[in-house]
Amino acid sequence: MKVSIRVLPAGRDLKVKVGANLREALIASGIALDSPCAGQGTCLKCQVKVAGVNQKLTAQEEEKLTEEELRDGWRLACQVTVEVPGAVSLPKIEALQAKVGFGLLGEEIPLLPNVRRRQFTLDKPALSDQRADWDCLADYLEGSEPGSVTAGLSLLQGISARLREQNFKGEAVMVGNNVAALDPPGSAAGVLGVAMDIGTTTLAVGLVDLDSGQVITLDAELNPQITFGADVISRILYMQESSEKRSQLQKELVKGLNQLLLRLCRNAGRARERIFEATVVGNTTMLHSLLGLDARHIAVAPYVGGLNRALCLPAEELGLQIHPRGRVHVLPSIASFVGADTVAVMLATRLSRADAPRLAIDIGTNGEVMLATPDGVFTASTAAGPAFEGGRIKYGMRAARGAVSSFQAVPSLDYTVIGGTVPRGICGSGLIDLVAELFRAGVLDCKGRMLLPSEAGSSLAAELTPRVRTRGESREFVIFQDGAAEVTITQQDVRELQLAKGAMRAGIELLMKEAGIGAGDLREILLSGVFGNYINRAKAVALGLIPPIPLERIHFIGGGAMDGALRALINLEERTRADQISVQVRHIELSGRPDFEETFLRHLALGE
């Protein structure tokens, strides 16, 4: 027997078998639920609010959830067995949304969009002027450039009725040289564009009024593909199993974007049909997945994808629900692991214009490193792994409610938790703080070994070493403990961070070597990426994650990729610049270099 379960806020009705596991039912129906513990009830990431369905709490839930959470109706989807009809509210991903920032507001971008309005007043048909309707409009719009304006079939099919309704006057909405719509004269309907940043984890969108160039609103959502693998490699592995699976991931992604656009436009009180253009950035794999391209060769040497150039295509061909004659402009990528998101960061930071060496780092599963010098721009991709995003970390989690996001050991142990709740896990910035501070305090030695009280010599460590304990064969440091609830960092977690840090720092070092400069030559370091904003600069330097330069020369640039996508939406010259960047940049393939391993091993150690 099946019962009906309404999923909120989407308002979708699922038919679910009685006895089914709620988490599995949600995932099976394509709803993105992050659940790294695979339904064991330990990661606490599949929290939902439940009405009806099954109100009996499991022991796991009673143990793991706080009183406040239980009172507010939070459950763990993995612990709920469907019994009766009901409703499930998915959490609003506030943390994700908060993370979408952009720096545009500080700088005026000249308005030169690809979407423009052109007013027209045509001569009415007469025996003395028998030009066909389209010919007459095209003549008008082309002026002194015959043949410069085009129209698609669907517009032509409606043009005769439309021109007569409007008494042969109105405004043509042009996307490039294509007439996409004919508005009545003096139409109040705006002309909108949307910038999209497609991340492995997060989809971010920004809505822009293309009449004014103003950003109306931003929003973000989990990439629904997340249920098919946490990182690009697992997505590629899934896609290459069959063309059906490749197509499935593409559809999930497009559906996710459409839902996000719907919410974005509803919240802004705008119509999706008034969006005439989308600019798209993202890592190379995500762009392949969006376009339905074969990504399997990205994952194996020599790491060559199907397409890095920019691509412009009809929104309808992708199934993107903007104006049916709207266009999608996908920005170019540089290499298989240096995508259009990196190009966008370079646009946003004007990195190509460096007159003194500047280093930019986009921190994520793949840390993209960019070094601009007067002699040119160099890029590399470092396989940092998922540690910075909470992957393979025992209590790792994204920067969401309950995450320890900063930590200090001296003068006294202190930490902050996102949302001010009890700690539930550790996000990337928290992890960096923890390792840097435990190293400074002597709980970790320079090789990253966690010291028991008997081994630690420092007096500082004396305050902290009692929190070091051994579980099984492994040591761990206890950050928080309240009954059964606890958050710890393990020896293995430290090793994971060392690997990530070593890979990223090695990439930076090799780029500087290639460009013939040292850390002292760097005018500035720019940090971007999903958690760039949360990093403590001093601790990142202390850890050795970034080269040692004065802290005032280290800057955060928020969601640089979204910034770049917005720029390309608002000003056509930015697209030309993106194309230039993508071909002029010198990409250094680290895996091809004999000096990589030695550099990597050297930077596994903590500190400089």
Query: Helix, strand or coil for residue 278?
Result: strand
What is the distance, to the nearest Å, from the Cα of residue 61 to the centroid of all Cα atoms in its chain? 31
Nearest approach in angstroms of CB 193 to its own copies is 21
Containing 554, the helix (H) or strand (E) segment is strand 554-556
Residues paired with 199 in a beta bridge: none
Q: Which stretch, 81-89, 297-305, 389-397, 529-537, contacts its own copies (CB under 8 A)?
A: 297-305
Q: Which stretch, 111-119, 289-297, 404-412, 555-563, contacts its own copies (CB under 8 A)?
A: 289-297
Q: Among residues 10, 98, 111, 304, which is the contact residue for its own copies, using CB under 8 A? A: 304
What is the distance, to the nearest Å, from the Cα of residue 68 to the centroid of all Cα atoms in its chain? 31
Q: Which is nearer to its own copies, 255 or 297 (CB)?
A: 297
Binding letters toward its own copies, positions 152-171, x by CB under 8 A = xx--xxxxxx----------
Nearest approach in angstroms of CB 114 to its own copies is 16
Q: Does 309 bind its own copies (CB under 8 A)?
A: yes
Q: Does 134 bind its own copies (CB under 8 A)?
A: yes
553 CB contacts (<8 Å, ≥6 apart)?
Answer: 522, 523, 524, 525
Binding letters toward its own copies, positions 332-361, x by CB under 8 A = -x-xx-------------------------
Q: Does 379 bind its own copies (CB under 8 A)?
A: no
Q: Decide if 445 contacts 607 (C-beta within 8 A).
A: no
Nearest approach in angstroms of CB 37 to its own copies is 36
471 CB contacts (<8 Å, ≥6 apart)?
Answer: 490
Rounded CA-CA distance 546/554 in Å is 10
Burial category of 263 from C-beta neighbours within 10 Å (exposed 0-12, middle 13-18, buried 19 and up): middle
Q: Decide if 282 contacts 295 (C-beta within 8 A).
A: no
Rounded CA-CA distance 562/100 in Å is 8
Q: Among residues 305, 425, 428, 532, which is the contact residue for its own copies, using CB under 8 A? A: 305
Nearest approach in angstroms of CB 498 to its own copies is 26
Q: Which is nearer to its own copies, 304 or 601 (CB)?
A: 304
Q: Which is nearer to its own copies, 381 or 599 (CB)?
A: 381
Q: Which is nearer to its own copies, 55 or 584 (CB)?
A: 584
Q: Does 292 bind its own copies (CB under 8 A)?
A: yes
Q: Does 556 bind its own copies (CB under 8 A)?
A: no
Nearest approach in angstroms of CB 590 to its own copies is 10
Q: Decide if 208 contacts 322 (C-beta within 8 A).
A: no
Among left, alpha and beta (phi > 0; psi -120 to 50; other), residue 447 is alpha
Nearest approach in angstroms of CB 154 to its own copies is 9
Q: Does 117 bind its own copies (CB under 8 A)?
A: no
Nearest approach in angstroms of CB 179 to its own copies is 12
Nearest approach in angstroms of CB 248 to its own copies is 14
Rounded CA-CA distance 156/145 in Å is 20
Q: Which is nearer to its own copies, 98 or 300 (CB)?
A: 300
Q: Among residues 52, 91, 229, 306, which is the contact residue for its own copies, using CB under 8 A? A: 306
Handedness of CA 589, 595, 601, 603 (dihedral sign): negative
Q: Does 317 bind its own copies (CB under 8 A)?
A: yes
- DSSP letter for 520, please: G
Residues 64-83 that bind its own copies (CB under 8 A): none
Query: Helix, strand or coil for residue 69?
Result: helix
Q: Which is nearer to its own copies, 208 or 236 (CB)?
A: 236
Q: Which is nearer to its own copies, 104 or 344 (CB)?
A: 344
Among left, alpha and beta (phi > 0; psi -120 to 50; other), residue 38 is left
Q: Which is nearer to its own copies, 85 or 314 (CB)?
A: 314
Q: Give the helix ranges, DSSP H, for 516-571.
A: 537-543, 560-570
Residues 402-431 that bind its own copies (CB under 8 A): none
Residues 558-587 that bind its own copies (CB under 8 A): 587
415 CB contacts (<8 Å, ≥6 apart)?
Answer: 404, 406, 407, 408, 423, 430, 433, 479
Q: What is the CA radius of gyration of the chain?
A: 27
Q: Does 88 bind its own copies (CB under 8 A)?
A: no
Q: Among residues 186, 301, 459, 484, which is the contact residue for its own copies, using CB under 8 A? A: 301
Q: Decide if 274 contacts 189 (C-beta within 8 A).
A: yes
Nearest approach in angstroms of CB 326 to its own copies is 15
Q: Among residues 9, 457, 516, 592, which is the contact residue for its own copies, using CB under 8 A? A: 592
Q: Does 140 bind its own copies (CB under 8 A)?
A: no
Nearest approach in angstroms of CB 540 to its own copies is 30
Q: Among residues 308, 366, 382, 536, which is the contact residue for its own copies, using CB under 8 A? A: 308
Q: Which is nearer to its own copies, 335 or 540 (CB)?
A: 335
Q: Does 127 bind its own copies (CB under 8 A)?
A: yes
Q: Which is nearer to its own copies, 474 or 591 (CB)?
A: 591
Q: Which is nearer to its own copies, 107 or 129 (CB)?
A: 129
Q: Does 131 bind its own copies (CB under 8 A)?
A: yes
> 386 vs 141, 224, 366, 394, CA distance in Å?
53, 18, 8, 12
Rounded CA-CA distance 248/243 in Å is 8
Rounded CA-CA distance 90/32 in Å is 10
Side chain identity at residue 124, one-letter code: K
Q: Does 319 bind its own copies (CB under 8 A)?
A: no
Burial category of 246 from C-beta neighbours within 10 Å (exposed 0-12, middle 13-18, buried 19 and up): buried
Rounded CA-CA distance 380/593 in Å is 12
Say how many C-beta atoms besides its own lie within 10 A of residue 198's C-beta: 28
What tokens were used for 172?
A: 């043509």
Q: Among residues 54, 57, 87, 133, which is the contact residue for its own copies, using CB under 8 A? A: 133
Q: Decide if 114 contacts 277 (C-beta within 8 A).
A: yes
Q: What residues make contact with its own copies under the rule CB under 8 A?
A: 125-135, 138, 152-153, 156-161, 291-294, 296-297, 301-309, 311, 313, 317-318, 333, 335-336, 587, 589, 591-592
